[in-house]
């Protein structure tokens, strides 16, 4: 089955965000949180914020910390979740105290294809890769989100099912769980979201599974910190995104991809067997199919299927003779 060439050979340089959000090391963390909390496509009034360089419209899922032309560190949404779990005073902390350093980077000349970025994502367990030019000056940032935007793997996604890549089981919590506990769960299990399930004392008596009713993500937690909400006093039901669009394990990954694009989300909940099974599909899951070993497995499986079909056709022809 031929794959569309533009889908299999995306221009990986198009995945570089050449205008990332940049702050200085001395900037208070609370201001960094406020900048990260602003959604892409909204106006970010950065002109009034000192020590900030904004090269683009809208805000990013990460912030680069720079001194002069040198990248000193990076802060991501996942970092913000860990800080929330620690209940760190963001107004009294400089971003330099919490940034990840040194930063994983790649010369632009080595960014030859999607695989070169995916390899580093997996090796270092990161979701943002800093790209430098030949003089080690900043070019931009490649993220899982930006890679997903340039990759349009229609045929490959059609051939794979949600069950092939979903994470199962998932970390879940009840509607009454304090948001601070959700942050601690995310930090402890290194996950990007918590599925919120219906809290029903008669649930076990009815012998049915868990009923997912909402989701709270690390991006949500950044928003809550920006608003300086008291995370310990809020419950999951107060802040969760709901209602959910639920996938089935038998759905194609193309369905998952299209729903993510349409709903502008980075993850979808999978439910089956009346809630007895729960899973999650993220943009990381979708990118996993581009792992060379994964693709080799798909091709090998297709070749076996073709051989089986050819043998069946020969057997039918022989029977007719």
| Residue 164: domain span | 157-288
pLDDT tens, position by position, 189-208:
999 999 999 876 555 544 46
Q: Which residue has the tokens 């990759």?
A: 151
Does any domain span residue 139?
yes
CA-closest candidate to residue 156, choices 168, 165, 145, 143? 165
**pLDDT at 320 (0 to 100):** 74
Residue 122 in any domain: the answer is yes
Q: 72-93, pLDDT tens digit by residue?
A: 999 999 999 998 898 888 889 9
Q: How far is CA 89 from the centre of its chain?
A: 26
Residue 188: is its pLDDT beyond 70? Answer: yes
State whether 123 and 189 are in the same domain: no
Q: What's the rounded mean pLDDT across residues 49-55? A: 44
Residue 296 has pLDDT above 60, yes or no: no
> CB under 8 Å to 264, separation ≥6 — which residues?
none
Q: Among 118, 149, 180, identify where a domain stops.
A: 149
Percentage above 70 pLDDT, the chain:
80
The answer on 220 and 142 residing in a single domain is no
Per residue in 228-282, pLDDT tens? Answer: 888 999 999 999 999 999 999 999 888 998 999 899 898 999 999 887 889 999 9
Cα 146 from Cα 141, distance rounded (Å)? 9
pLDDT computed for residue 186 by the predictor: 94
Residue 55, pLDDT > 60, answer no
Same domain, 17 and 144: yes
pLDDT above 70: residue 155: no
User: Can you give the CATH number for the domain in which 212 is found?
Assistant: 3.10.580.10
Overall domain count for the chain: 2
On the question of pLDDT at 9 being above 50, the answer is no
**pLDDT > 90: what percent of the chain?**
47
């Amino acid at each position: 089955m031929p794959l569309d060439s533009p889908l299999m050979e995306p221009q990986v340089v198009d995945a570089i965000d050449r205008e990332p959000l940049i702050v200085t090391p001395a900037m208070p963390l609370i201001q960094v949180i406020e900048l990260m909390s602003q959604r892409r496509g909204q106006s970010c009034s950065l002109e009034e914020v000192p020590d900030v360089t904004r090269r683009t419209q809208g805000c990013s899922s990460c912030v680069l910390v720079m001194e002069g032309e040198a990248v000193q560190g990076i802060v991501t949404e996942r970092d913000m979740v860990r800080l929330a779990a620690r209940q760190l005073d963001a107004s009294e902390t400089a971003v330099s105290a919490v940034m990840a350093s040194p930063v994983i980077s790649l010369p632009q000349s080595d960014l030859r294809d999607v695989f070169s970025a995916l390899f580093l994502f997996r090796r270092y367990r990161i979701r943002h890769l800093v790209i430098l030019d030949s003089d080690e000056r900043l070019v931009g940032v490649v993220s899982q989100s930006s890679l997903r935007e340039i990759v349009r793997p229609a045929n490959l996604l059609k051939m794979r099912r949600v069950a092939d890549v979903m994470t199962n089981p998932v970390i879940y919590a009840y509607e009454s769980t304090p948001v601070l506990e959700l942050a601690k769960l995310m930090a402890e299990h290194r996950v990007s979201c918590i599925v919120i399930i219906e809290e029903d004392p008669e649930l076990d008596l009815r012998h049915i599974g868990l009923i997912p009713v909402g989701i709270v993500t690390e991006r949500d937690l950044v928003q809550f910190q920006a608003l300086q909400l008291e995370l310990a006093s809020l419950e999951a039901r107060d802040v969760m995104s709901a209602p959910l669009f639920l996938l089935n394990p038998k759905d194609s990954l193309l369905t998952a991809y299209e729903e993510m694009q349409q709903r502008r989300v980075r993850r979808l909940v999978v439910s089956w067997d009346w809630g007895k099974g729960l899973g999650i599909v993220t943009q990381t899951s979708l990118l996993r199919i581009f792992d060379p070993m994964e693709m080799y497995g798909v091709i090998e499986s297709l070749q076996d299927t073709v051989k089986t079909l050819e043998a069946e056709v020969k057997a039918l022809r022989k029977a007719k003779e």
